[in-house]
Structure 1
Amino acid sequence: MSSADASRSLIHAPVGKTLWEMTWPVIFGVATLISFNVVDTFFISLLGTDPLAAVSFTFPVTFTVVSLTIGLGIGTSAVIARKYGSDRPEEAHFDAFGALSVSALLVLVLALIGYLLMDPIFLLLQAHDRLLPLIREYMTLWFAGCVMLVTPMVGNAVLRASGDTRTPSIIMASGGLANAIFDPILIFGWGPIPAMGVEGAALASVISWASGLILIFWLLKRKQLVSFRPANGLGFAKAWVKSSREVLKIGTPAAGANMLTPLAMSVMTAIIAAYGAPAVAAFGVGTRLESLASIIILALSMSLPPLISQNFGADKIQRVRYAYNTALKAVLIIQAGIYLLMVLTAPWIASAFAEEEKVAEIVELFIYIMPLGYGLQGWIILSNSSFNAIHQPMHALWLSIIRLFVFFVPLSYLGSLMADLTGLFIGGVVANFITAAIAYFWFSRELRRFDEQGV
């Protein structure tokens, strides 16, 4: 299907059917990728508590770079999908080039800053001195290769904006598969390949990114979704600046909103560090399990925005409302089932990801409490991505601030003072409940405003 055909499908075909057809390939891709990331955590856990804790400390930093990339992908998708919806494909193709190039430049700068300030950053996160050598081993390679992460992710956003969600899923799955294959080989050694420990885990990630980079370049060229030729009569430099500004107008607040999550996670990690390395290691496992349990949410956060953006561009607000409400209902029901499954398998999961009994106990406690709020967290995430899709990035940014720093961190900390780790986890669930209600009524109000005033 051409990009034009896909656009017509998104603005004319039945919403529920279209959303499902766009989402299921993404579910497969996200599930495969996250499953391999959980496998990555499992292999690292076999090295012992210190390596697992060291890599857990890196999560807020690595997620900062990833969040910047995700935010720029959101901006890319919103701008390009709206132009497809308003029948301006030539502009969409040049915007794809602008998005890819400016994203690579921004990630390169962030990675360089992270590398130069590596020790101060992790000392600020309360990492123990004995963990710093392991952290350096992992992060040096990670920073060196993370520029190759941005192009596949933003390239996938270009594909999704055109209505193609199957190809990005294949790219995600292939990258995860490459990582899973190289992980045990490089971590533990095989034949002439020496055991590299946590450094091997980082190298496996870099190899998987490199393969995704090659694949996305080939696909974008083959599908003719990227053009170096401006379509608006401007010179190349002026057109590139204009295109970059359009993407950054949405992508920068979206990136800022996404980077608030690792900032909040840094604060949470510092709070949990007071309970010792086993608690930090268990929290690191818990955050990765959260990603696995949130596959449907993550998939919808990728498939819903192009559908909303294209219909927003075509002034079809009722279809936007129906798609949003359909996604929220699905998330709440599915996450309730996932919670029950996690509770039933909690002892097995805890023992699989923790060698020490204390770590396993905390992982199990995490599973009993935190997933209760995942459905509500899904409402927040989908509302956030929907705000970006209707070109309201500052609303999405403020929603993230409210969720993380008005409710999640304060209520979690208050809970820890009242009932230690149990109270901390309960505070997080309460925060998700309050913010989900705010998100729903806020987005619904914006749609009513568009109905009354017009887009």
Structure 2
Amino acid sequence: MASAVSAKSLTSDPIPTTLWQMTWPVVIGVLTLISFNVVDTFFVGLLGTDPLAAVSFTFPVTFSVVSLAIGLGIGTSAVLARKRGAGHEEQARFDGLIALGVSALLVAILSVLGYLFMQPIFAALQAQERLLPLIEDYMLLWFAGATLLVIPMVGNAVLRSSGDTRTPSIIMASGGLLNAVFDPILIFGLGPIPAMGVQGAALASVLSWSIGTVLVLWYLHYKGLIRFKIPERAHPLNSAREILSIGLPAAGANMLTPLAMAVMTAIIAAYGAPAVAAFGVGSRIESLASVMILALSMSLPPLISQNLGAMQFERVREAYITALRSVLVVQLVIYLVLLVGAPYIANLFTDDPEVARLIRLFIYIMPLGYGMQGIIILTNSSFNAMHEPMSALALSIVRLFVMFVPLSYVGSLIADIQGLFIGGVIANVLTAAIAWRWFQRGMRKQRNEEVA
């Protein structure tokens, strides 16, 4: 399968056209994958409020592992794309192989630690004792298969670094489709397959990850994008260090999100299981509503990195501004759609009146800040593409722990859960303004370094 965008076109073709060609396949892939994750929540919701609340409690923990995988993918894409932009193709192929091995090892270590400390982690999240058996049923299988999650994610980053966003999107969509097929079969049972409840939802994920791992490794080998041969003056430790120098801060920045979510979950837990269940549903709706943001956060960095490698700074600035404008327009349209559909969405996920009311409240308020959140996320991914991971980490800290959590908590004190949601929106607006100015300063630094 040919790449939709060649490495050469990233540094020469018109920015809007190139960004669109790179982004639309990712939009389809992410939309399909997240849609089926929402389907996953839907099927678990059919089991009742307690299973839905139990799986909602797992989200901060599972997203910690996913965030590590995302961060390692960011580091992989930034390093490989910049080397390809500078013409160092053989080094990029070797670094891709190192990235896969290092990522699998780190996720395996994190999963073991998560398994060993499972009970104190969920106790700290204020999970009710009656929910703990359901949480453990889900997490035991999830941790066991987590290494199979990271390989497709980092493998897709290797593909994106070459300008190929179409193949990663197909792999993502395939995984989401398989998960949606496996979910009802394993959760409710079919023929000789017993009903496994929430454990079936975890097993469905692991099976889809396994197939994705096989697909991405085969395709990377087939396209020659990973190479076992060590190039001249290269060393595995140097390659790993270079990837981790961006990947670990990026992972740290991403892992701040589930940490903030854990704090938010603990705050919301004071309002009872219906509030936790509604917040879990709202978080998945947010993921679905943020498809364009997520897609651009994957397609924009290779474009920025390759143009930085080729020292084309005006193209970097144009790509960033084009992405931001696109996000603001799309998120406004999405908010209007959610506003109209809120009652139907709430009734789709639950028949509990209180959970439905809180889902509607979430939809009416939180998506108002998604456009601003998009500016923050794209600035963050741009910093990583510019090999400025500490700026990305600092921006994440400001967004989550200087703005989002404190302002949400203050809002909850003033106006209960409605105030909590409003505080989150205000936090996104303030942080987006900071992110814009921070990026301008980062671009000036890049120019000065190249001149020097």
Q: Same fold (TM over 0.5)?
A: yes
> What does residue 372 of structure 1 align with?
368
Counterpart of 1:280? Answer: 276
Contact 1:186–1:203, Cα closer than 8 Å, also in 2: yes
| Equivalent-residue separation in structure 1 for 2:370 and 2:70 (angstroms) | 20
Structure 2 equivalent of residue 50 of structure 1: 50
Cα deviation code 1:349-374 (max 9, x no counterpart): 00101121000000000000000000
What is the correspondence of 1:344-355 to structure 2 with a 5 Å cutoff? 344-355=340-351
Report what 1:213 is aligned to.
213
Conserved 8 A contact 1:4-1:89: no
- The alpha-carbon deviation at position 444 of structure 1 amounts to 1.3
CA distance in 2, matches of 1:353, 1:4: 37
1:450 maps onto 2:446 in alignment: yes
Partner residue, 1:110? 110
Pairwise CA distance, 1:446: 1.4
SS in 1 for 2:76: helix
CA RMSD of aligned residues (A): 1.2
C-alpha contact (below 8 Å) 1:63/1:262 kept by paired residues: yes
Counterpart of 2:164 in structure 1 is 164
Match of 2:289 in 1: 293
* Structure 2 counterpart of 1:433, one-letter code: V
**TM-aligned CA deviation for residue 452 of structure 1:** 4.2
Regions of 4+ moved over 2 Å = 1-5, 448-455
The separation in 1 between residues aligned to 2:44 and 2:252, in whole angstroms, is: 30
State the alpha-carbon separation in 2 of the partners of residues 453 and 254 from structure 1: 22
Give the Å deviation of 1:232.
2.8
Matching residue of 1:195: 195
Q: Distance in 2 between matches of 1:438 and 1:454?
A: 25
Q: Which residue of 1 aligns with 2:386?
A: 390
The structural deviation recorded for 1:6 is 1.7
C-alpha distance in structure 2 between counterparts of 1:19 and 1:185, whole Å: 39
SS at match of 1:6: coil
Counterpart-to-counterpart distance in 2, 1:379 and 1:64: 22
Once the two structures are TM-superposed, the CA of residue 230 in structure 1 deviates from its matched residue by 1.3
Aligned counterpart, 1:38: 38
- Decide which of 429, 436, 442 is 1:440's aligned counterpart: 436
Q: SS at 2:120's partner residue?
A: helix
Give the Cα–Cα distance (whole angstroms) in 2 for the partners of residues 140 and 372 of structure 1: 37
Identity of matched residues, %: 68
Q: Is the 8 A contact 2:304 2:382 kept in 1?
A: yes
Q: Which amino acid aligns with 1:299?
A: A
| Partner Cα separation in structure 2 for residue 453 and residue 364 of structure 1 | 50
Stretches of structure 2 that go unaligned for 5 or more consecutive residues are none
What is the deviation of 1:453?
Answer: 4.5
Q: Secondary structure at the match of 2:428?
A: helix
Cα contact 2:3–2:165 (8 A) shared by 1: no
Shift of 1:19: 0.2
| CA shift for structure 1 position 245 | 0.3
* Structure 2 counterpart SS, 1:194: coil
Deviation at 1:22, TM superposition (A): 0.1
Q: Distance in 2 between matches of 1:233 and 1:340?
A: 55
Q: Deviations over 1:393-431 (max 9, x none)?
A: 000000000000000000000000000000000000000
TM-score (norm 2): 0.98
Inter-partner Cα distance in structure 2 for 1:5 and 1:369: 38
8 A contact 1:48–1:355 mirrored in 2: no
For 1:29-53, what per-residue CA distance to the aligned partner results, in whole angstroms no more than 9, with x for missing partners?
Answer: 0000000000000000000000000
Alignment of 1:66-77 (within 5 A): 66-77=66-77
Q: How many residues align?
A: 451
- What amino acid sits opposite 2:108 in the alignment? L
**Counterparts of 2:421 and 2:4, CA distance in 1:** 47
1:67-118 deviations in Å (ceiling 9; x for gaps): 0000000000000000000000000000001100000000000000000111
Alignment-derived partner of residue 83 in structure 1:
83
